[in-house]
Amino acid sequence: MSAATLRAWRNAVFAIFFLSGLGLASWVSRVPAVRDSLDLSTADVGIVIFGLSGGSVLGLVIATPMLARFGARRAMVLGIGAAALGLVVVGIGTGVLPAAAVVIVGLALFGLGTGSVDVIMNVEGAAAERAIGKTLMPLMHACFSLGTVVGALLGAGASFVELSVLAHLVIMAVLVFGTVLVAVRFIPVIAELGDEGPAHTGAIAVAKPVTGWRDRLRENLSVWRDMKLLLIGVIVLGMTFAEGSANDWLALAAVDGHGLSNTLAAIVFGVFVAAMTVGRVLGGPLLDRFGRVPVLRACAVTGIVGLLLFILAPTVWLVFVGTVLWGLGASLGFPVGMSAAADDTTHAAARVSAVAMIGYFAFLVGPPVLGLLGEAWGILNALLVILALMVLAGFAAPAARKPVEAPQPQQTP
């Protein structure tokens, strides 16, 4: 592939990660407003969020069949299209037809789309990283985090000017879906990822013959027997549980646990995702210098300290300090897990898909559980559950160690 084609591919994947984060933060930043509009209790919010989790789990389940049947390019468009439609339905359920049931349906559709595309975009990102020959996965996830930063700031602005949830989410849905239609045109057709159709100029030539989608599906499912891969999944599980819990509960924990206003709580969430973004931007050089295992262990310790500070903070400024450390600690687990899963190039796409499914399962299923625990013990106490999983992630870090002497080509897209 030419340098221009690689660069366009990389930038398109960056854009898709950004859009995924933008869409998620658009919902998360308006959770307090949705809660207030529908007069929901903490347990009710957990049940509503379960619609997102349920749809997302289904999205994770169908991601591998979608990848095998439609290929990465078309599957990403389908997934983001479903997510955009889900945002619109959530807005309708908050304003036009105010009912928790309508919001749950919208979140289920949103989750179905995001759950599937989150797996598939990581498969696409790993393929681009291998083709370019540089550590790019942390930057890709930094784009996701940057999208959440922008989404959080836009959400805080929408809250400040009292823009309705419906108007806000419809605008974001149109923006997200319209942009992905443009971005996907710069992603090459790759038969190994299930893509079909004529490959445009510069597309990768595939050495092995293109197999049927059912054969690809069976091959993708076979990697679940690899124990090392499952340990990589433990790393990703712990770190993404910490990230996903913040996405759904950080704003409400700041309001209910520390007495902050809805607008200031949205800013706290923005600080968290900003810290995630910084950690991922700096992650590449740190990983290249110190290696995956020490960096992952340092992230686990940082995240644990940040969580404890956030939970126990007696002052607002310590809430922000804890939020920053929490975000930095959770920042690299997922992208490093994706890169580690792709080390075995024989079944790289299937391995990345499997680890992504484990991570997103924790990302999306864990938060509703925290809602139920928060109703009984208080939301700040419920966050203590995250600590145990981050400890497990730290202990499992050696599974992500790079293979000895694995040189990569140095191309500059």
147-156, 274-283, 372-381: segment of lowest average pLDDT: 372-381
| Portion of the chain with pLDDT greater than 90, in percent | 22
Between the two ends of the chain, the Cα-to-Cα distance in Å is 10
How far is it, in rounded angstroms, from Cα 250 to Cα 272? 9
Nearest to 274 by CA among 134, 393, 156, 126: 156
pLDDT per position as a tens digit, 109-141:
999 998 888 888 888 888 888 788 777 888 888
What is the pLDDT at residue 92? 93
Q: What is the DSSP letter of 206?
A: P
pLDDT per position as a tens digit, 327-347:
999 888 888 888 888 777 666
What is the pLDDT at residue 192? 63
Nearest to 179 by CA among 66, 18, 320, 337: 18
CB 326 within 8 A of CB 272: yes
Give me the amino acid identity at 235: I
Query: Which tokens hold the place of 59?
Result: 């999205």
Side-chain-facing half-sphere of 25: CA atoms under 13 Å: 33
Judge whether residue 84 has pLDDT over 70.
yes
Domain ranges of the chain: 3-185+224-400
Question: Cβ neighbours of residue 228 under 8 Å, at least 6 residues apart?
Answer: 399
What is the pLDDT at residue 204? 41
Q: What is the mean pLDDT of residues 91-111?
A: 90
Q: Between 142 and 304, name the one with better pLDDT.
A: 304
CATH architecture assignment, domain 3-185+224-400: Up-down Bundle (1.20)
pLDDT per position as a tens digit, 152-208:
889 888 888 888 889 999 999 999 999 999 998 898 877 666 565 554 444 443 434
What is the pLDDT at residue 312? 87
Backbone angles phi, psi at 358, to 5 degrees: -60, -45
Handedness of CA 293, 296, 302, 308 (dihedral sign): negative
Angle at 42 between CA 41 and CA 45, to 5 degrees: 85
- DSSP string of 319-368, one letter each residue: HHHHHHHHHHHHSSHHHHHHHHHTTSGGGHHHHHHHHHHHHHHHHHHHHH
How far is it, in rounded angstroms, from Cα 332 to Cα 334? 6
Locus of tokens 């804890």: 322
CB 337 within 8 A of CB 359: yes
Query: Which tokens hold the place of 404?
Result: 């000895």
Judge whether residue 145 has pLDDT over 80.
no
Confidence of residue 68 (pLDDT cuts 50, 70, 90): confident
Confidence of residue 406 (pLDDT cuts 50, 70, 90): very low
Judge whether residue 372 has pLDDT over 80.
no
22-36, 110-124, 392-406: segment of lowest average pLDDT: 392-406
How far is it, in rounded angstroms, from Cα 376 to Cα 349? 41
How far is it, in rounded angstroms, from Cα 323 to Cα 343? 32
What is the pLDDT at residue 200? 44
| Portion of the chain with pLDDT greater than 70, in percent | 87
How far is it, in rounded angstroms, from Cα 269 to Cα 6? 34
What is the pLDDT at residue 173? 94
Q: Is the pTM of this model over 0.85?
A: no
How far is it, in rounded angstroms, from Cα 21 to Cα 89? 19
1-10, 66-75, 128-137, 349-358: segment of lowest average pLDDT: 349-358
